[in-house]
Amino acid sequence: MDDHRKPSSSSSEPNKDATIVDEDDESSSATVLDLTSFQLHDLDSVELPPSLTELDLTANRLSTLDLRIAHLSNLRSSLSARTSSTTPGSTLFLAGTKFRTLKDNKLTKIPDVSIFRRLLVFDISFNEISSLNGLSKVSNTLKELYVSKNEVTKMEEIDHFHELRILELGSNRLRVMENLQNFTNLQELWLGRNRIRAINLCGLKCIKKISLQSNRLTSMAGLEECIALEELYMSHNGIAKMEGLSTLINLRVLDVSSNKLTAIDDIKNLPRLEDLWLNDNQITSLEDIAEAVAGSRDKLTTIYLERKISELHDHCGTSLSKYSAN
């Protein structure tokens, strides 16, 4: 829901000051209920009129799903609890064009949303969920799933999401990458800030973006078959060698900063590479860098080399004139 369409309210008394506004929406009337930041633990005291088309539950303390929402046949959207997060996505779709989220509340388990038969996007980020048990009841039409910033320890009950395009499980307690084999349409996988020690992508070939930042990786092995990959983020790990990259000919962005790299390897034949992040490593010489990025000269615009790069010799010459070492 666009900000200019949100009625505002600053009270914590929903019965007194919750705002219901009728607005023109092209050819029909729209009824909007804004409950932003009311710190509600439930919706028991809130009237949900049948004419409701938009419901905003941002920044509350909801721990369960109010079943009355399922009977709001005109509901288009209800945005829930977006604070300072920049995590992509913020909606849960009902019946294709209708959507709702439970983001940033007090959920401790996956809510039962089986009443919504055509979910497209499900966002339950910024809650207190420790298990994905319950996702098996979520519609297999799901295209985007966001469960970041919870306490999830295992990737489970997700293998029926054959249409999934985006999976966000960052900032949890995952140790193993698993149950990805059915995600043949997956394009984005966000697993940063977990406890993962090894890469296991189960042969995914359509994926375009992978984030494994701030894990416990010591090797890059396991990426070789991701030939459609365009963006790879692996900073803040314990990786000692650049490997498994030569087949990723569509790669545009590579971030391997804040690792334990001592040399620049395996990127010579990446013709589409534009951004290369190498800062905060243990590289002591740039003597061979021109050769290392030879295949990327037509596209490469920036190399980040800040800190722990002890030499930037003139012998790199004009081949690095357009690169940044700031």
pLDDT digits (tens, 9 = 90+) for 145-201: 999 999 999 999 999 999 999 999 999 999 999 999 999 999 999 999 999 999 999
* Cα 256 to Cα 247, 251, 278, distances in angstroms: 17, 13, 6
Q: What is the DSSP string of 18-83?
A: -EEEEEEETTEEEEEEE-TT---S-STT----TTEEEEE--S----S--GGGGG-TT--EE-----
User: What is the pLDDT, as a whole number, of residue 10?
Assistant: 32
CATH architecture of 231-326: Alpha-Beta Horseshoe (3.80)
Q: Are 114 and 138 in contact (CB under 8 A)?
A: yes
Q: What are 227's two structure tokens?
A: 């030939």
Closest by Cα among 46, 44, 50 to 36: 46
User: What is the pLDDT, as a whole number, of residue 3?
Assistant: 39
> What are the extents of the domains in the chain?
231-326
Range with lowest mean pLDDT among 11-15, 173-177, 224-228: 11-15
What digits encode the pLDDT tens for the residues 253-309? 999 999 999 999 999 999 999 999 999 999 988 888 889 999 998 899 999 987 754
Indicate the pairing of strand 253-255 with strand 275-277: parallel
User: What is the pLDDT, as a whole number, of residue 118?
Assistant: 79
Confidence check: pLDDT of 99 > 80: no
Name the most confidently modeled range: 6-15, 68-77, 80-89, 296-305. Answer: 296-305
User: What is the pLDDT, as a whole number, of residue 147?
Assistant: 95
% the chain with pLDDT above 70? 76
Confidence check: pLDDT of 26 > 80: no
Edge to edge, what strands does the sheet with 52-56 contain?
19-25, 28-34, 52-56, 77-78, 98-100, 93-94
